[in-house]
Amino acid sequence: MEQVWAAAGTQEGLRRWFNKTISFAPGLGGRWEMSGEHWAVAYTFGGQTTEWDPPRRIVMTWDWVPPRWPAPSLSSIELEAQDGTQVTRNITAGSA
């Protein structure tokens, strides 16, 4: 489970697993931001960690930078030790 947390709960892991441009400050209240291009359209997203329970759970807000949505979305990642590690990811739009 610690190896999976290293991919989901650290800047280095998130750069390898999710987006090579991400800046991520681990811990409760930590800010993150990433940018890229999708179908030739540039984007920047960012947010803040609202729940932090290593190595089991992380919840972050998501929105455009600068914000465009009425309320940020929430993204949660939960890890559970089973025969290996079970990863559950949920996104809830506009619920922060």
Report the CATH number at residue 90: 3.30.530.20
Query: Taking 70 as the threshold, does the pLDDT of residue 95 lie above it?
Result: no
Residue 80 has what pLDDT? 83
For 11-64, what is each residue's pLDDT tens digit?
A: 999 999 889 999 999 999 999 999 999 999 999 999 999 999 999 899 999 999
Domain count, the chain: 1
DSSP designation for 14: H
For 63-77, what is each residue's pLDDT tens digit?
A: 999 998 888 898 888
Question: Strand ranges (DSSP E) for 1-96?
Answer: 23-24, 31-38, 41-53, 57-64, 73-82, 84-92
Q: Is 30 a domain residue? A: no
Q: Is 24 a domain residue? A: no
Longest Cα–Cα distance in the chain: 42
Domain coverage including residue 80: 1-19+45-96
